[in-house]
Amino acid sequence: MTLETAPLTAPLPALDALCRNGAGLSIGVEFPLDNDFARHGRPGSTGQFGIPDLTHQRRRAELADRLGFKALWLRDVPLWVPAFGDAGQVFDPFPDLGYLAGVTDSILLGTAAVVLPLRNPLHVAKMAASIDQLSRGRLILGVASGDRPNEYPAFDADFDSRGELFRSSVNAIRTAWRESLGPEDTVKVLPPPAQDAIPLVAVGRAQQTTDWIASTMDGYMTYHRPGPLMQPVVNRWNHAVPDGQHKPLLTTMLLDLVEDSRAPAEPIRFGARLGRNSLARYLEELEASGVGHVALNFRPSQRPVEDALEEVAKHVLPAFS
């Protein structure tokens, strides 16, 4: 396998739908749909910090779909490292996505992100294509190089080589989706994706240069920043994207939506605590900066997740639909 690969030029319906063909901001949600960050340490709370309650995930995923959120994002945390605290949504993203494909109708399904150096790229290609078929073309495959060095020895993988492994995996996955892997069509990965090509989005830098990501990947997801601080990030990204191509920049946001609709924005780590009116203005600033999609994460929310989902859907989503 070579380390470099040209981007595909085939249509990417899921990514176009996510970012409305560059026409503005869309809003999704990030699993787990739980408020375990806020719940930890309260009287009567159980469990360790960062391990969510998964009891209501199906119902909340169905609710997000019904309310009109654009995408559900799942993380890949291969091994729980207590020192990092956060176990993601606990379930492996691929069987979880297969399950969600069957219980949702229109919401897009994304990974943010599959740790490529710790997985065989042909398995990733086959699992992703399977999810794309099961969901009728709703998958966006976010991929990363991983940032937890403790995981790598357990997988007999070299942490320092993860950037090279990431590039070779991207090439192998795309090759498996479009070509035979043996002479005279003797070896193929089935099924083919439902889309002409499943969008591949770099989540974080993945040990790559911005120019490599912009020329090779279909989009880029970066850490949260408020709109004014995101503007130069978007400008650098757009400058790196080849002329004539639209490749969106995506981000996430930790959200503690308070009951007072007029409450001003108060920064928290990777997000904000604020009322719905301030949230709308906050998202408008991100849209003005050129961000194409924001995935809201409700884990620091003091309120029930259902209440926050419904309030955002009723009072905020219409401005971005």
Q: Is the pLDDT of residue 7 over 50?
A: no
Mean of the pLDDT values across residues 97-120? 97
For residue 306, what are the contacts with CB-CB under 8 A and spacing of at least 6?
A: 60, 63
Q: Is the pLDDT of residue 244 over 60?
A: yes
User: Residue 22: what pLDDT?
Assistant: 67
Reduced to 3 states (helix: H, G, I; strand: E, B; else coil), residue 275 is: coil
pLDDT band at 184 (very low <50, low <70, confident <90, very high): low
Of 111, 105, 67, 63, the closest CA to residue 89 belongs to 111
d(CA 39, CA 47): 10
d(CA 135, CA 277): 34
Question: How far, CA to CA in Å, does 62 sit from each of 21, 57, 59, 86, 230?
Answer: 25, 9, 5, 24, 31
227-240 and 276-289 helices, crossing angle to 10°: 30
CB 257 within 8 A of CB 308: yes
User: Residue 69: what pLDDT?
Assistant: 98
Mean of the pLDDT values across residues 97-118? 97
Mean of the pLDDT values across residues 285-310? 96
What mean pLDDT value characterizes the chain? 92
User: Residue 235: what pLDDT?
Assistant: 97
Mean of the pLDDT values across residues 107-120? 97
User: Residue 210: what pLDDT?
Assistant: 97
- Pure H helices in 191-302: 210-216, 227-240, 276-289
- 44-48, 213-217, 286-290 — which is least confidently predicted? 44-48
* 135 token code pair: 């969901």
pLDDT digits (tens, 9 = 90+) for 124-150: 999 999 999 999 999 999 999 998 999
d(CA 250, CA 260): 28
User: Residue 42: what pLDDT?
Assistant: 62
pLDDT digits (tens, 9 = 90+) for 143-172: 999 989 999 999 999 999 999 999 999 999
pLDDT digits (tens, 9 = 90+) for 267-279: 999 999 999 999 9
Q: Is the pLDDT of residue 5 over 90?
A: no
For residue 75, what are the contacts with CB-CB under 8 A and spacing of at least 6?
A: 30, 31, 88, 89, 93, 111, 112, 113
User: Residue 3: what pLDDT?
Assistant: 34
Residue with tokens 């559900």: 72
- Pure H helices in 219-304: 227-240, 276-289
Q: Is the pLDDT of residue 9 over 90?
A: no
d(CA 287, CA 280): 10
Q: Is the pLDDT of residue 11 over 70?
A: no
Of 257, 253, 266, 236, the closest CA to residue 304 belongs to 257
Predicted model pTM: 0.92
Reduced to 3 states (helix: H, G, I; strand: E, B; else coil), residue 250 is: strand
Domains and CATH numbers, the chain: 13-320 (3.20.20.30)
d(CA 109, CA 52): 20
